[in-house]
Amino acid sequence: MADVDQGSVPPPDASLNGTDVLNATAAKFVATPEGTALAYGSLLFMALLPIFFGALRSVTCSKSKNSSDMPETITGRDAARFPIIASCTLFGLYLFFKVFSQEYINLLLSMYFFVLGILALAHTLSPLMAKVFPASIPIKQYQLLFTQGSGEAKEEVVNYEFDTKDLVCLVIGGVVGVWYVLKKHWVANNLFGLAFALNGVELLHLNNVCTGCILLGGLFVYDVFWVFGTNVMVTVARSFEAPIKLVFPQDLLERGMDASNFAMLGLGDIVIPGIFIALLLRFDISLKKNSRTYFYASFLAYIFGLGLTIFIMHTFKHAQVPAPVCLSTGLLLCYTWCQPASVSLSSWR
């Protein structure tokens, strides 16, 4: 999360997975208490939305027979390798920005996230569109198919099936995408960011809670090292332009939609804890009881951890505060508290 001063374009997140809190100490703008409270409260509310609804959608996703909606399972080995892969990616971006022109790299990234954002937003809107789509309009099926080779050697490269409702969602996503590319407006950034976060929580599934603990622990070490040990994360943060963070202006009350001094929260601080919380919701449901003990306990632990992050950053005015220090601690304490009654939880899939 960050206090920044940068024209009309919100600053980028501090890492590939957005796990840091950036504070522009050179900012001339001094936010009012009301503006600060509104910005932090809005970020907290926006962070909870993809976690809550993504967790609910992950339950349906885990039962889906549609290959396009099948979740990606994260194993213990994947979780253990995460800090290494993320570190290599972050350092690679750092070298790219040092060697090549920042303008061309960000142009390439903008096109990449333009396509991903449209698809993510269309997938996010699809269930809602299915409920509000007029029954009087006929629904037609479409298929986008790319193959390579011929005869028996022919292989599918892309096989994307969609219908009229999906087409409307893609058009809406395309409008938001063009808005983001042309204006880099913070609202368009947040629409894409929320879509990315919700899809991540919905489609990335941990195979068990032990894997989740490994992932949270790895994220903790990764973020502490790159935040406090080097200037790599800061350099990438100031150079990287992509909708991988949620932002909210602290001067919204004074300047309206043209506000330019932003607080921000990286998507990694939402998705990584979110997939852990979604796993606990699926476990609660598997118990076939009316209670959702693990889900609500972890959800409250996340709120506490994120609130503690905001408090530390605002009180001590620290340039960077890695949110996983608080988020991981809160969720792991929650799991420890629940552990006596959860012998089967560690191995449940």
Indicate which residues carry an active-site annotation: 223, 269
Structure tokens at 349: 């899939």
- Closest alpha carbon to 268 in 311, 235, 308, 306: 306
What is 278-333 written as a DSSP string? HHHHHHHHHTT-S--HHHHHHHHHHHHHHHHHHHHHHHH--SB--HHHHHHHHHHH
Q: Which residues contact 251 (CB under 8 A, 6 or more apart)?
A: 29, 31, 35, 259, 260, 261
Give the Cα separation of 249 and 39 in Å (integer).
6
Give the Cα separation of 21 and 308 in Å (integer).
12
Give the Cα separation of 260 and 220 in Å (integer).
31
Q: What DSSP element (H or E) covers 213?
A: helix 209-224
Q: Which residues contact 108 (CB under 8 A, 6 or more apart)?
A: none
Give the Cα separation of 250 and 266 in Å (integer).
17
